[in-house]
Structure 1
Amino acid sequence: MSVSKSFSVHCLWQDQDLPGALNAQQSAWVKAHNFAGKKGELVALPGKDGEVSAYLFGMGPKEQADPFVTGLAAASLPEGEYALEGDFNDPTLAAAGFRLGAYDFDRFRKTPKTVKLASLKGADEDEVDLLVEAATLARDLTNRPANDLGPETYEKEIRDFAKQHGAKVTSIVGDDLLDQNFPLIHAVGRAAHEAPRLLDFTWGDESDPKVTLVGKGVVFDTGGLDIKPPQSMLLMRKDMGGSANILGLAHAIMKANLKVRLRVLIPVVENSISANAFRPGDILDSRNGMTVEIGNTDAEGRLVLADALSLADEEKPDMIIDMATLTGAARVAVGADLGALYSTDDKLAQELVAQGKASADPLWQMPLWDEYDDMLKSNIADVNHISNGPLAGSITAALFLRRFVKNAKSWTHMDIMAWAPLARPGRPVGATEQGQRAAYRVLKARYGKK
């Protein structure tokens, strides 16, 4: 859609002096509207003809700066093209925040809203494009309902994505999962109309540090035989949000040409209900030989991740990062804004938290508390995949996953929501990126470009 209107947006910190370019009429207009630069304030400035000539936008106190605060302006402005002017702590993030604040998922609507960024002085335009593309990829995939993004369609999307980046991609589908020893992925997805599968693609030089990304790709989760109540099932199209964010992170890594050998593993399933659905109380084999007692079929994500993590671990990579919309317990602990972060590498975890805070992608480190490992005991199998009580659900899920990582130099798990239930700066209501910007910035700092 073409955009005909073009305006300047003067972005001011709270109580900052008004731009000198304002005339007396505009200054009086701003004063009449009590504009003080508070976070999210937006005032249209009248021109000589009475039409809007520009805007003032408040960014709040500079000492409490949100890197994506400009996203609030994009969400409030009418259709048009805008040049942002002001004193930004990080112009690149300010530009990315504005563009992501204008995000509009219009796949199923014919009335998109177009708000474009014309310019922001000092922003690295290539980096802005990379960050926006990574986040948009995650949002677009996660917003799609399961009837539009089933396992077969998702495989095609992943294949097309990998090929666009020159990555080598393979898949293991249906009963071939049993033949090639991925019994947990098969068990979770076998009741669905479309077969379960594992997508695997690699990119980069074999001699470079091995970074492996694993994403939970449950395109829809009924809960299985432990069926969810209707309200809990309503947003289960987002249960593949971990894998969507992994794909966004992979896009950033490959577009930036980081010096890594990248591998991406995405188990893609639908947790459905049929005569052959796996049951509570079943004992299932896993890829690494451990037997798993099923405590609840609605805790399926950790099962598909277990087999994928085992595969990732076999080549002893330098780093494994997985992302998953794994537990409601994480949301109880840290809410929707924060991703719950677990890691066997405290230094890496601290870097991720710091980069997340700096890039409007907040994470909160949670403990891999060994004392809770006994909560996963089973009397008839090597492990139960859920804990024996209502406490520490996100921690025990992470402890379960840790059992499948033995050889990697470091392993990091992000238990994310991948959804914004309330609008935030740069994040409209709906599917959102979590963890990918923080991880990309850490990887970029560690490995740099080729």
Structure 2
Amino acid sequence: MAPFQFIDRPSPFNTKGGKTLPIFAITPAHIETGSIDPIALDWAKKAGFKAESGALLMVPTADGHLGGALFGLGKNPSDAPFLTGKLARTLPAGDWHIETAPLTANRLALGYGLGSYRFERYKAAAAEAPTLLIPTDADAADIKRQLAGVFLARDLVNTPTNDMGPDALEDVFRALGEHYKAKVSVIAGDDLLKENFPLVHTVGRAAAQAPRLLELRWGKKGHKRVTLVGKGVTFDTGGLDIKPASSMLLMKKDMGGAANVMGLALMIMDAKLKVDLRVLVPVVENSISANAFRPGDIYRSRKGLTVQIDNTDAEGRLILADALAYADEEEADLIVDMATLTGAARVALGPDLPPFFTDDDDLAHDLAEASLSVDDPMWRMPLYAGYDKDVSARIADLTNAPAGGMAGSITAALFLKRFVTRNRRWVHFDIYAWAQAERPHSPVGGEAQAIRALYHHLRKATA
């Protein structure tokens, strides 16, 4: 297995210059008004090319060689801001440049880069990929680091658990820290009990590979203190409340929260943002063995709150509880946690629109603004106090699985909120970390969600 690459992976861009073939990225209006290259226009009309969204037409030269391409943007290019990602998978190999396009240079190049992603660890590499000459007015360095963060998250989620269990995830975490000269520490196995992380230990103790808490620190004291927390369940059987087979098929992605905060940390460190960064990733495999935790058990958390286990398949919030309590022991300007936490979030908003929860209205406004600015969708959901009673248990402080099955993403967020009492600026993301259908900017598989928006927010806040 090849090692993970962080910033220095193969580039989808042509940085050498030289001769490149033109791509005319156009709308139907360009054809109607005749406002493109005359040879390309004539060919488009003869071929009946209508410039529908994502349509591609090769354009020959007068002597029959490949002369360029026409790429349709549809009537409203803003409806698909990363449509150029489709070019990375449909153009023939060669060096290309975009001649005309009603898109910003950064959006055009980022879309192409996102669409160039391939996961080929377990099969022969596909045919040689095309490269795009990055526009001179694009921020090439920032596009490269955003792609690196997104691709790291995708790679981690796509890798199956036999190659991305707790040990391997720790290896990548350590390598990321080493790459950016960050300080990394790990508490593993029974040391979790000695260091007061009982819930992390409880969930992961039945697995062959020990549970652990990963911690990374980077940056300068005095800068904004940002703590990222990511759920790192490398596989979730459901525990003794075992999932049906069909529900386990994607459970390699249950460490998607960890993958996404690691991708975000990469962006922050590579950009050298003025941030005092802390990253916490509780890592477990929720397995079944003689020492697995049981329904009905009650455990005391790091915070001191007792938790009744009413479903062993609601394990993510347990390991996050200890990690968030640990994060909350230090003052921070912002705490962000990300987790593939509830099916209820998918029912509410689907796989492509992750909900976020926060009591800080200013933070919510800023995140929504960042989301729109960089086309990285998210949607605020309420921490509705009326449901807080549902998180309480009869003979313990909390239940990890409220009865009734309603408002599941909200009650999960309210559970986590009990462990963040010192810091007001906290936001919880309930992400899916998976693209169910191919889109111009991503294939089916592991996906980064909300981290480009969070990076944009932090970059603006620390400028």
- 1:6 shift after superposition: 4.8
Residue correspondence of structure 1 range 345-384 to structure 2 within 5 A:
345-384=360-399
- 1:76 shift after superposition: 2.2
| Residue aligning to 1:59 | 73
- One-letter amino acid matched to 1:22: P
Whether the 8 Å CA contact 1:355–1:438 is kept in 2: the answer is yes
Match of 1:125 among 140, 143, 146: 140
Alpha-carbon distance in structure 2 between the residues aligned to 1:305 and 1:184: 9
- One-letter amino acid matched to 2:323: A
Match of 1:44 among 47, 55, 58: 58
Whether the 8 Å CA contact 2:184–2:214 is kept in 1: the answer is yes
Do residues 116 (structure 1) and 138 (structure 2) align? no
Alpha-carbon distance in structure 1 between the residues aligned to 2:137 and 2:102: 9
Aligned-residue RMSD, C-alpha: 1.8
Unaligned runs of 5+ in 2: 1-9
- 1:121 shift after superposition: 4.0
- 1:66 shift after superposition: 2.8
Alpha-carbon distance in structure 2 between the residues aligned to 1:253 and 1:200: 16
- One-letter amino acid matched to 2:95: E
What secondary structure is seen at the aligned counterpart in 2 of 1:408?
coil
| Residue aligning to 1:22 | 38
Alpha-carbon distance in structure 2 between the residues aligned to 1:105 and 1:256: 25
- 1:88 shift after superposition: 4.0
Alpha-carbon distance in structure 2 between the residues aligned to 1:27 and 1:182: 66
Alpha-carbon distance in structure 2 between the residues aligned to 1:290 and 1:431: 34
Which deviations, in whole Å up to 9, do the C-alpha atoms of 1:24-50 show, x marking residues without a partner? Answer: xx4333123332332111111112232
Match of 1:94 among 108, 115, 132: 108
Match of 1:31 among 45, 56, 65: 45
Whether the 8 Å CA contact 2:85–2:442 is kept in 1: the answer is yes
Do residues 76 (structure 1) and 90 (structure 2) align? yes
Whether the 8 Å CA contact 2:54–2:73 is kept in 1: the answer is yes
Identity %: 49
Whether the 8 Å CA contact 1:10–1:19 is kept in 2: the answer is no
- One-letter amino acid matched to 1:36: K
- 1:336 shift after superposition: 1.1
Unaligned runs of 5+ in 1: none
- 1:399 shift after superposition: 0.6
- One-letter amino acid matched to 1:205: K
- 1:127 shift after superposition: 1.1
- One-letter amino acid matched to 1:73: L
- One-letter amino acid matched to 1:92: N
Match of 1:404 among 419, 429, 440: 419
Whether the 8 Å CA contact 2:435–2:442 is kept in 1: the answer is yes
- 1:63 shift after superposition: 6.5
| Residue aligning to 2:404 | 389
- 1:357 shift after superposition: 2.4
What secondary structure is seen at the aligned counterpart in 2 of 1:127?
helix
Alpha-carbon distance in structure 2 between the residues aligned to 1:395 and 1:5: 55
Alpha-carbon distance in structure 1 between the residues aligned to 2:369 and 2:87: 26
Whether the 8 Å CA contact 2:30–2:36 is kept in 1: the answer is no
Alpha-carbon distance in structure 1 between the residues aligned to 2:19 and 2:358: 48
Comparing 191-200 and 96-105, the one that deviates more: 96-105
Alpha-carbon distance in structure 2 between the residues aligned to 1:255 and 1:427: 23
Alpha-carbon distance in structure 1 between the residues aligned to 2:408 and 2:355: 12
- One-letter amino acid matched to 1:287: R
Alpha-carbon distance in structure 2 between the residues aligned to 1:27 and 1:105: 37
Comparing 399-408 and 112-121, the one that deviates more: 112-121
What secondary structure is seen at the aligned counterpart in 2 of 1:120?
coil
- One-letter amino acid matched to 1:78: P
Alpha-carbon distance in structure 2 between the residues aligned to 1:431 and 1:178: 33
Comparing 104-113 and 6-15, the one that deviates more: 6-15
Match of 1:186 among 201, 213, 216: 201
What secondary structure is seen at the aligned counterpart in 2 of 1:15?
helix
Comparing 390-399 and 32-41, the one that deviates more: 32-41
Alpha-carbon distance in structure 2 between the residues aligned to 1:68 and 1:360: 9
| Residue aligning to 2:224 | 209
Residue 88 to residue 162, structure 1, CA distance change in 2 (3 Å): farther
Do residues 226 (structure 1) and 241 (structure 2) align? yes
Alpha-carbon distance in structure 1 between the residues aligned to 2:201 and 2:59: 60
- 1:434 shift after superposition: 0.2
- 1:338 shift after superposition: 0.6
- 1:79 shift after superposition: 2.9
Which deviations, in whole Å up to 9, do the C-alpha atoms of 1:121-175 show, x marking residues without a partner? Answer: 4211011101111101111111000001111111111001111101100000000
Do residues 278 (structure 1) and 313 (structure 2) align? no
Per the normalisation by structure 2, the TM-score is 0.93
Whether the 8 Å CA contact 2:134–2:140 is kept in 1: the answer is no
- 1:7 shift after superposition: 2.7
Comparing 303-312 and 32-41, the one that deviates more: 32-41
Match of 1:138 among 140, 148, 153: 153
Which deviations, in whole Å up to 9, do the C-alpha atoms of 1:1-41 show, x marking residues without a partner? Answer: 99999532111134234554332xx4333123332332111
- One-letter amino acid matched to 1:82: W
- One-letter amino acid matched to 1:291: T
- One-letter amino acid matched to 1:85: E
- 1:326 shift after superposition: 0.7
Residue correspondence of structure 1 range 405-444 to structure 2 within 5 A:
405-444=420-459
Whether the 8 Å CA contact 2:24–2:101 is kept in 1: the answer is no
Alpha-carbon distance in structure 1 between the residues aligned to 2:213 and 2:27: 49
- 1:103 shift after superposition: 0.7
What secondary structure is seen at the aligned counterpart in 2 of 1:16?
helix
What secondary structure is seen at the aligned counterpart in 2 of 1:425?
coil
